[in-house]
Amino acid sequence: MIEIYDTTLRDGTQRSDISLSCNDKIVVAKKLDDLGVTFIEGGWPGSNPKDVEFFDKAKDMQWKNAKISAFGSTCRAHTAPENDANIKALIDSQAPVCTLFGKTWTLHVTEVLRTTLDDNLRLIEESLAYLKANGRRVIYDAEHFFDGYKADPVYALETLQAAMRGGAETLVLCDTNGGMLPWQVAEVVRTVKSKVTIPLGIHAHNDGECAVANSLSALNEGCVHVQGTINGYGERCGNANLCSIIPTLELKMGQQCLPEGNLTRMYEVSHFMAEIANLAADEHLAYVGKFAFGHKGGLHVAAMRHNESSYQHIEPEKVGNKMRVVVSELSGRGTMLTKAEEYQVNLGSSADAVDALDQIKALEATGFSFEAAEASAVLLLKRREPGYKAPFELVDFSAIVEHRRGRGIFSEAMVKVRIGDEILHTAAEGNGPVGALDLALRKALLGHYPKLNHFQLADYKVRILDGNNGTSATTRVLIDTQNGKSSWTTVGASTNIIEASWQALADSIEYGLSMAS
């Protein structure tokens, strides 16, 4: 079984726009433990108070699957480990596993540590042996191993021998600068494996966009331990992405690395981590991105209606994901039929799907985009359903923005809508014209549709499509709405931003009343 060593809480947080509180780190660690990784690297207790706090809390918690590991360096040059503050912090953390990194590359020994090659070997062996003597399991990270091996293969191997003498249970070969290529990694791992007697691991960075490929190459050559982060978060260009490595190991290489059945949690864990990190999820990541199994081309969708494996390399449900059909001007009839089936829209005939597709293509030519506004696309189909009656019909609207002495800027909107045979005419004030329109429309509809109370306008995005036309440019508006149970996005486009906003707003309310559960 391959050991999964997750370093999201240490290496992952070195990404420039990530900062996790201690509580965040505990929550993430619990999620990783539930996923079933082998090791969770909680941080570097010798570097900051937050990591000290994490280990203080973690030591009293029950962990079902993972061992908590503390990260640190070998003792300082010309110093004994028992006198080194970093080594003391590792022991004080009470983490059952300590991961120690040491220098492999002669450049770093002489220019960074400013010591001799022999003293560096002593630092590695004595630091590991001291932790081992204090009851810790010890993993050794051979920093810059591949660069070090290229510069002086004999010395690089000597550093591993020192780590073995010190009691390391695993030797992790690190591509710290992230510049290696998969076949180079494979060749080095193959050689090293023949020279050592304990298990090997791999730790790859993504500076050459090869971190996942390099990790898989190393595992294919016999490494049994792989380090990485959720979503590939990490310093510079990131670390090897465990959300790609884990499914590939289990589904394509026949190597189990999670408890049975836990692979289906990958999508959830990826998005959970993005939420905790306060980052937008990369929805085009392999396996776990929302659109990893999203199909836009009409030819692709038509083929998949006959056999889903025609354009998918795995069943998306195996990683907790699902197949998605994206509606756009590149869609075909099959796309619209699939979307109607997905939303249980009963079209009168396939000709209705073709009519809806023609309308979508015509609208996209004027600035609409339905890829991120699926609710508007579904409404185009729903309106063709036999017997469908829209919950309201627009008669008139107006919106004004005024500046008044003593009050400043404010907006007022008027909306006139028809519900059955009744005409409702309402007005409302808001901070801006779109907010005022939203309030006025809600005021008109609320007596007939009380569940509007639960609708919230969650986001409002504006994009100028042809800025060279100045104030006559076409504006696209996307509105995200949620009701506590679900969320949906609608779109409008016009040379008038208020009209574009109204289109998206009206679609949002109609979809919520007609379709949202």
What are the CA-CA distances from residue 278 to residues 36, 231, 320 (Å)? Answer: 24, 13, 22
Tens of pLDDT, residue by residue over 115-161, are 899 999 999 999 999 999 999 999 999 999 999 999 999 999 999 99
Give the Cα-Cα-Cα angle 31, 290, 500 (nearest 5 degrees).
Answer: 125
Reported as a single tens digit per residue, the pLDDT across 255-287 is 999 999 999 999 999 999 999 999 989 989 999
Tell me whether strands 3-6 and 225-228 are parallel, antiparallel or unpaired. parallel
Classify residue 449 as exposed, middle or buried by CB count within 10 Å of its CB (0-12, 13-18, 19+): middle
Q: Give the DSSP per-residue string, 54-111.
A: HHHHHTTS--SSPEEEEEEEPPPTT--GGG-HHHHHHHHTT-SEEEEEEE-SHHHHHH
Q: What angle do CA 83, 87, 89 make, to 5 degrees?
A: 110
Mean pLDDT for 54-69 is 96
Q: Model confidence over 234-253: pLDDT tens digits?
A: 999 999 999 999 999 999 99
> What is the residue-averaged pLDDT of the chain?
92
Distance CA 185, CA 174 (A): 10
Q: Is pLDDT at 467 greater than 70 in this prediction?
A: no
Which position has the token pair 């918690």?
Answer: 61
Higher confidence at residue 35 or residue 474? 35
Among residues 502, 516, 510, the alpha carbon closest in space to that of 388 is found at 510
Higher pLDDT among residues 30 and 471, named by residue: 30
Q: In sequence order, which residues have a C-beta less than 8 Å from that of residue 297 and are 6 or more positions away?
A: 330, 332
CB within 8 Å of 14: residues ≥ 6 apart? 234, 235
Classify residue 303 as exposed, middle or buried by CB count within 10 Å of its CB (0-12, 13-18, 19+): middle
> Looking up tokens 């600035």, which residue turns up?
367
| CATH class of the domain defined by 393-514 | alpha beta
From the list 44, 16, 12, 15, the residue with the least C-alpha distance to 28 is: 12
Region(s) of the chain under CATH 3.30.160.270: 393-514
Highest mean pLDDT among 319-328, 333-342, 442-451: 442-451
Residues whose CB is less than 8 angstroms from the CB of residue 301 and which lie 6 or more positions away in sequence, other chains included: 295, 325, 331, 332, 334, 335, 338
Contact 396, 412 (CB under 8 A): no
| Residue 6 φ/ψ, nearest 5 degrees | -95, 125
Q: What confidence tier does 304 reach under pLDDT thresholds 50, 70, 90?
A: low
Identity of the highest mean pLDDT range in 59-68, 362-371, 482-491: 59-68
pLDDT confidence bin for 357, thresholds 50/70/90: confident
The whole-angstrom separation of Cα 512 and Cα 517 is 8
- Is CATH 3.20.20.70 the right assignment for the domain spanning 3-259? yes
Lowest mean pLDDT among 52-66, 170-184, 471-485: 471-485
CB 148 within 8 Å of CB 104:
yes
pLDDT band at 34 (very low <50, low <70, confident <90, very high): very high
Tell me the CA distances in angstroms from 418 to 37, 392, 424, 426, one per residue in order. Answer: 57, 6, 6, 12
Which DSSP helix (H) or strand (E) runs through 142?
strand 137-143
Q: Is the pLDDT of residue 218 over 60?
A: yes
**Of the candidate ranges 1-10, 132-141, 374-383, the one whose mean pLDDT is the lowest:** 374-383
In this predicted structure, the answer to whether residue 326 has a pLDDT above a threshold of 80 is no
Low-confidence winner among 46-55, 117-126, 187-196, 224-233 (lowest mean pLDDT): 46-55
Cα 73 from Cα 71, distance rounded (Å) = 7
The answer on pLDDT for 509 being more than 90 is: yes
N-to-C CA span, the chain: 43
pLDDT digits (tens, 9 = 90+) for 383-407: 988 888 999 999 999 999 988 777 7
User: How distant, in Å, are the alpha carbons of 69, 111, 231, 341, 434 from that of 54?
Assistant: 11, 33, 22, 48, 45
Whether the model clears a pTM of 0.85, i.e. scores above it, the answer is no
CA 107 from centre of chain: 36
The two tokens of residue 267 are 């999508």
Which H or E element spans position 147?
helix 145-151
Residue ranges matching CATH 3.20.20.70 in the chain: 3-259
pLDDT confidence band for 106 (50 / 70 / 90): very high
